[in-house]
Copies of this chain bind each other. A is one copy, B any other.
Amino acid sequence: MPIYTCTTTESTLPRSIKAALAREIATIHSQINHVPSTYVNVAFHELSGDNLYTDGAPASPVLVSGWIREGHPKTEVTRLATEIASAVTRIAGVPAEQVLVVFESSPASFAVEGGRVLPEPGQEQAWIAGT
């Protein structure tokens, strides 16, 4: 259900770190948002050095954008953002100052997976049982 997109420059995140981070994001998301980790997608966009800028100068932040269904408790989304940001620093060794995590959301009814409209938060079990 969720989509995480991590944007950074080439070689900022070695291959083994990307795999470890994808696993950790799946684990954290599953625990906080009550979705089996099998539904957690993580995409890495590795840009060349002349394609990423902070303050108008080439830079290598790690920008994480997550999409989740609308309706999760706001405090939980904040906790999710905090823990994902912390995981990037802990696993990839990227200073917190270079890590930005942002969540966007839209109604579950605006999303389709496995040919079916996604469930509202709290209705996951019935939806999964229906597959």
Contact = CB atoms under 8 A, between A and B. Distances in A.
A128 interface: no
Interface of A: 1, 3, 5, 7, 15, 18-19, 22-27, 37-47, 50-59, 61, 63, 65, 67, 74, 77-78, 81-82, 84-86, 89, 96-97, 99-107, 109-115, 117
A25 to B, nearest CB: 8
B53 A109 contact: no
A56 B22 contact: yes
A104 B127 CA distance: 22
Contacts of A46: 51
Contact of A43 (B7, B39, B67, B101): B7
A107 to B, nearest CB: 7
A48 B53 CA distance: 21
Given A19-B53, A78-B117, 16 more contacts: A38-B54, A42-B56, A43-B53, A43-B63, A45-B45, A46-B51, A67-B102, A77-B109, A77-B110, A82-B112, A85-B115, A89-B115, A96-B114, A101-B112, A103-B110, A104-B104
